[in-house]
Structure formats: structure tokens, C-alpha cells
């Protein structure tokens, strides 16, 4: 499985695997149960995780690189919760991506990245996603 296969769906908790696309939406699979569900484009917005990147002053850092850095630094600097204070989350992001653009990357974006990481880590998918991307 690759990050390109995973999608966040507005209005639904968690991350889903894209099964197939239709003209009027996507059929996605729940990562826990494996059940398929149709999500209409009229009701939902889709965020493919493979297209997500964090703005820096020079360019962008892809989500897989952010996840890789978080995994590498996990022992020295434990990952914070998305429920922590905004200051805690911002200081954590300064450690993992020192050059992130503070004007264009909002705390809500950081919370999404932390949520996605913890969701995938609980399902033991981070290691396989990062090794697939290499």
C-alpha cells in the first residue's frame, strides 16, 4: 500500500483506502473492517494523502517525508497529540520541520498530520507505507 492509495474523506473519521472511482464519487474501503462504502462528491471532499505537502520557505515537504522524520525522531522527541495546545504542536513541528512556513501552515493543518500519523501508526501501517515509497 502507498500513500497515493489512501484518502481522507470530509465528514468521515479516519483514513480510507481507495477501491475504485466513479464519475460521481469514490468507493473506499475501511482500513479496520475492510468494508466498502460509496462516498458522493456532492456530500464529501477527498484529500489523497499522496498529494499532501507542508509549505516551507523554499519549497514543500511531502507528507511521506514528514512521516519519515516523525518516525526517525520518535525516540528522541515523542510525537505530541493532536489534542495538545497550539504552542506544543507548533514547537513540535519546528523540531521536525524547522523551515516550515509559519504564515501558510496553520495549527489545524498540523493537527491533521498528527491525527493521520497516529491513525496509521495504531494500525501498524507507517512502516509499510514508508518502505513502499522507497
Domain ranges of the chain: 3-48, 52-133
Task: Provide the pLDDT for residue 1.
Answer: 79
Q: What is the CATH number assigned to the segment(s) 52-133?
A: 1.10.10.1650
Count of CB atoms situated within 10 Å of the CB of 89: 20
Cell numbers 522527541 correspond to what residue? 77
Looking at the domain 3-48, which fold is it?
SH3 type barrels. (2.30.30)
Per CATH, 3-48 and 52-133 having the same topology is answered no
* For range 95-123, the mean pLDDT: 95
Are the CB atoms for 46 and 38 separated by under 8 Å?
A: no
Task: Provide the pLDDT for residue 112.
Answer: 96
pLDDT category at 130 given cuts 50, 70, 90 is: confident
- Model-level pTM greater than 0.85? yes
Rounded to 5°, the CA angle 106-4-33 comes to 95
Amino acid at each position: 500500500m502507498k500513500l497515493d492509495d489512501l484518502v481522507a474523506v470530509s465528514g468521515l473519521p479516519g483514513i480510507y483506502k481507495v477501491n475504485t472511482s466513479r464519475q460521481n464519487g469514490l468507493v473506499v474501503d475501511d482500513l479496520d473492517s475492510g468494508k466498502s462504502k460509496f462516498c458522493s462528491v456532492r456530500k464529501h471532499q477527498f484529500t489523497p494523502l499522496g498529494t499532501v505537502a507542508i509549505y516551507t520557505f523554499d519549497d514543500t515537504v511531502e507528507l511521506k517525508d514528514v512521516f519519515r522524520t516523525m518516525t526517525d525522531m520518535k525516540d528522541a522527541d515523542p510525537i505530541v497529540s493532536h489534542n495538545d495546545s497550539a504552542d506544543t504542536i507548533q514547537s513540535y513541528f519546528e523540531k521536525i520541520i524547522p523551515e516550515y512556513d509559519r504564515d501558510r501552515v496553520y495549527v489545524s493543518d498540523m493537527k491533521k498530520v498528527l491525527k493521520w500519523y497516529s491513525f496509521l501508526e495504531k494500525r501498524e501501517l507507517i512502516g509499510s507505507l514508508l518502505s513502499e515509497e522507497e
